Amino acid sequence: MALERPERRAFTCDELRFASEGEGQPARLRGHAAVFNSLSEDFGGWRERIAPGAFADAIVRDDVRALWNHNPDYVLGRNKAGTLRLSEDATGLASEVDPPDTQWARDLMVSIGRGDVTQMSFGFRVVDASWDIADGIKVRTIKRARLFDVSPVTYPAYQATDISVRSLDEIAKEGELALADPETWREELRAMDLRLRMVGL
């Protein structure tokens, strides 16, 4: 039932921007890596939404990186280092990053300023979710998630890229189980959370 690797989702962020706090001050990158209560595209018979509060625990507990295009070779910031700040607001998962003074980071800021890069994505693992039917389609609502990274991205990370069709099918089967037998689904989620805690994720 549990996915072996993090899922990824991407959102277009009109407010993705960088700005300097004042003359001579380094620029900061701001944007929303996730948007609350917004239905995703159709993932092949099911859709997804993120509930407010889904990242409340992760913001406090998880060791999260800001990456460029989810590439661990290009670290923009890290919450444990104080160079990435995460919060939940009325829109969703807000991020503020102090990018490094490196050529690739400066180049990225130029691309964002030009409007060439307008999307953000986040890597996560579901801890608690519920399923329901809306307009004849299954909808997974993510209530609590572990958070691994937030990333400005060139292209959105949808099913054809970072999450395989097989994994999407597995999630759809989870939805069938949840809708058919909610108590079994809750037991599976509790077991999944315990496994994650045991391996320190």
Structural tokens at position 129: 């979710």
Secondary structure letter of residue 25 according to DSSP: P
pLDDT, residue 27, reads 81
Q: How many CB atoms lie within 10 A of CB 41?
A: 11
Tell me the C-alpha distance between 187 and 56, whole Å: 22
pLDDT, residue 16, reads 74
**146, 56 contact by CB (below 8 A):** no
Can you name the residues that pair with 163 across neighbouring β-strands? none
DSSP class per residue in 58-120: HHHH---EEEETTEEEEEEEEGGGTSEEEEE-SSEEEEEE---SSHHHHHHHHHHHHTS--EE
DSSP class per residue in 110-129: HHHHHTS--EEEEEEEEEEE
Closest CA to 120 of 200, 8, 197: 8
Sign of the four-CA dihedral 174, 180, 182, 184? negative
pLDDT, residue 187, reads 66
Helix axes 182-198, 165-180, angle to 10 degrees: 130
Tell me the C-alpha distance between 167 and 171, whole Å: 6
pLDDT 10s per residue in the chain (201 long)? 444 467 777 766 556 777 666 566 678 898 888 889 988 888 778 889 999 999 999 999 999 999 999 999 999 999 999 999 999 999 999 999 999 999 999 999 999 888 888 888 899 999 999 999 888 889 999 999 999 999 998 876 443 333 344 455 666 666 666 676 666 656 666 665 555 555 454
DSSP class per residue in 146-194: EEEEEEEESS---TTTTS-HHHHHHHHHHHHHHHH-HHHHHHHHHHHHH
Q: How many CB atoms lie within 10 A of CB 182?
A: 12
pLDDT, residue 1, reads 41
